[in-house]
Amino acid sequence: MKRSLLNYFSASIITLLASVGGQLHAADVAPSSDYKIKIVLIGDSTMTDSAGWGLGFKQFLDPDKVELINASQGGRSSLSFMREGRWTNALALKADYYLIQFGHNNQPGKPGRSTDMPTFIANMKQYVDDARAIGATPILVTPLTRRQWDKENPGKIKSTLEPYAQDVRDIAVEKNVLLVDLHARSIALCESLGPKKCLEFSPTKKDTNGVVVFDGTHLNSKGHVLMARLVVEELRKVVPALAPVLLAEPINANPVAREARFDAVVSADGSGTHTTIQAALAAAPDNGTNWFNILVKPGVYQGQFMIPKSKTHVRIVGEEMANTILTWPFNVNEPQPGLTYQFNPGMVVAADDFSAENLTIQNTSGDHGQALALRVDADRAVFTHCRLLGWQDTLLVNNGRQYFTNCYIEGRVDFIYGSGTAVFDHCEIHSKNGGHITAASTPPDHPFGFIFSNCKLTGDSTPWVNPTNTTASTSSKNGLADLGRPWRPYASVAYLNCWMDDHIKPAGWNNWGKVTNEMTARYSEYASTGPGANPSARVKWAHQLTDTEASALTVENILRGSDNWQPAAGPAN
């Protein structure tokens, strides 16, 4: 039975019994053996893999029978988690069980997150109701205790989270919802171990004076399984249907969170090693020869972001592309004092051997002048699964060799431009209201400029009216775009095996108002498909490549150089 059918029958049975006064949870409907039970964790940093018990919990689940998705996020309260749309996204996963734990960031003194108690209670009830509405089983979890030792009663914890824990207990009784009382269990465990022993699973951090102190809220690698075991023990009692998939002992007694594999972790909530990307970059060694790996947790980070020339071999990885956003609001007409680079770019890569993954890099100044999201002056730069968003001049490939793979790049006027050599492999290139896709300024002695291989060219989907014939339309798009115009006479651009929507002008290319550019520009296509592919209508000074010519334009041949660079190999570690 597929999950959708299971959820349907579970919800139907629950609805039927509720109508006659019965009590039944989705957990009481036994799943068939041909699919995995899906469990989603919803909460704050004390539930995450890196700083909480989430990774430890995974070690107690039978991997052949359970799929676990940890959607918890550091720095979130019951309110901010909803406000950011994270709960909506979690519900879309259609899980069988949702474990829900909040409280830490609802406490006073946390701007944008703190709530009063009535709001906290209302939020927690909504989590329960929303989960039940999709046929899932909500399980409330009281917040993991802070290790706050009572000075008047040595060895005892005086938890400021007790009011939140009690409210969750009361909600569980009122709404007849399953409850894991982690707060009580974690207090009992910590008190049995004593303050000194608890330091073994307490991370260290630096206070505002730079002094190393113990973190009494979060967990290090020794604490992941320790606290997760308490959750598992409670689940066996309150959710008997899950007992068969809960292991007696963890698969890995010392699991390592993904964050531990990085040299720096950026998180605005303070749960990482740095709160800003620039601070993490500063921590990278100068002229490094080994990769310095930076993980960026979801959030909106305000630029400008600079990778100085001395910070070689830096790799920046976003945890979630859509929610890890590097943003900059200024264009060239809005100068900012103190900026090293002209044109107000949001992100500048000046160091060789750079890699970026799972990032959204955007310029939000709008459609009124040059507004760079990204400028690359480096050699051997790789961008994987990134979104580059802007209007005019979104991406400046200024120098060196770059490789963009599985990226989304959008803009309107000359939004991919510059004198560098770049391959765009399996990318989506999106034109906003017509315009010009490329403005290459390839030097005459460079054999290659921009190569688009197996890309998809799309345009805005609003209707477009032909200004010379209001009764007919030559395109379903709002404005026609051309494939490029030469910023400098020897501009080199090629499209290989690309699908083009009908926003592409039949002529394809633009000479930028100079007939002489037609004698020098190196524009070509090969095997274009889609409504915008029209080789017979293309300008006569552009070239349709032969099979032999196209076969020579491989990533290796274009980017190899004298150092035999192989971008697809990726960072060594």
Tell me, letter by letter, the H, E, C secondary structure of 462-505: CCCCCCCCCCCCCCCCCCCEECECCCCCCCEEEEECCEECCCEC
* % the chain with pLDDT above 70: 88
Mean pLDDT of 467-479: 44
CA 257 to chain centre: 17
Mean pLDDT of 40-45: 96
H or E element, residue 449: none
The CA R_g of the chain, rounded to the nearest whole Å, is 28
What was the pLDDT predicted at 361?
A: 96
Topology (CATH level 3) of domain 36-255: Rossmann fold (3.40.50)
What was the pLDDT predicted at 467?
A: 40
> Is the predicted pLDDT of residue 179 greater than 50, yes or no?
yes
**CATH 2.160.20.10 location in the chain:** 400-565
CB 233 within 8 A of CB 222: no
Please say if 414 is a catalytic residue.
Answer: yes
Mean pLDDT of 91-109: 96
* % the chain with pLDDT above 90: 75
Q: What 3-state DSSP class applies to 416?
A: strand
d(CA 195, CA 156): 9
What was the pLDDT predicted at 408?
A: 97
CB 70 within 8 A of CB 49: yes
Residue 446 backbone phi and psi in degrees, to 5: -95, 125
Residue 540 backbone phi and psi in degrees, to 5: -70, -20
> Is the predicted pLDDT of residue 339 greater than 60, yes or no?
yes
- Beta carbons within 8 Å of 225's beta carbon, 6+ residues apart: 56, 59, 250, 252, 253, 254, 255
Comparing CA positions, the residue from 165, 79, 87 lying closest to residue 122 is 79
Q: What is the pLDDT of residues 369-406, one digit of tens each?
A: 889 999 999 999 999 999 999 999 999 999 999 999 99
**CATH 3.40.50.1110 location in the chain:** 36-255
What was the pLDDT predicted at 335?
A: 74
What was the pLDDT predicted at 387?
A: 97
- Which of the residues 181, 377, 414, 502 is marked catalytic? 414
What was the pLDDT predicted at 16?
A: 33
Mean pLDDT of 63-92: 92
Token code pair at residue 456: 């998809």
Residue 25: which pLDDT band, with cuts at 50, 70 and 90? very low
H or E element, residue 61: none
What was the pLDDT predicted at 525?
A: 98
CATH 2.160.20.10 at 400-565, yes or no: yes
Mean pLDDT of 518-527: 97
Residue 192: which pLDDT band, with cuts at 50, 70 and 90? very high
> Is the predicted pLDDT of residue 553 greater than 70, yes or no?
yes
Token code pair at residue 530: 């889609």
Residue 333: which pLDDT band, with cuts at 50, 70 and 90? confident
What was the pLDDT predicted at 461?
A: 64
Q: What is the pLDDT of residues 1-12, one digit of tens each?
A: 334 334 433 433
d(CA 199, CA 191): 12
Mean pLDDT of 485-513: 96
What was the pLDDT predicted at 260?
A: 78
Beta bridge partners of 296: 266, 318
> Is the predicted pLDDT of residue 416 greater than 80, yes or no?
yes
- Which of the residues 393, 425, 482, 501 is marked catalytic? 393
User: To the nearest whole number, what is the mean pLDDT of the chain?
Assistant: 88
Mean pLDDT of 506-524: 96
Q: How many CA atoms, within 13 angstroms, populate the side-chain half-sphere of residue 89?
A: 16
- Give CA separation, 6 vs 34, 96, 133, 235, in Å: 11, 9, 14, 22
Residue 304: which pLDDT band, with cuts at 50, 70 and 90? confident
What was the pLDDT predicted at 343?
A: 64
- Give CA separation, 433 vs 387, 405, 479, 487, in Å: 18, 24, 5, 21
Higher pLDDT, 104 or 269: 104
Please say if 547 is a catalytic residue.
Answer: no
Residue 190: which pLDDT band, with cuts at 50, 70 and 90? very high
> Is the predicted pLDDT of residue 472 greater than 60, yes or no?
no
What was the pLDDT predicted at 75?
A: 87
Higher pLDDT, 473 or 565: 565
Label residues 8-35 b or e (16+ Cβ within 10 Å = b).
Answer: eebbebbeeeeeeeeeebbbebebeeee
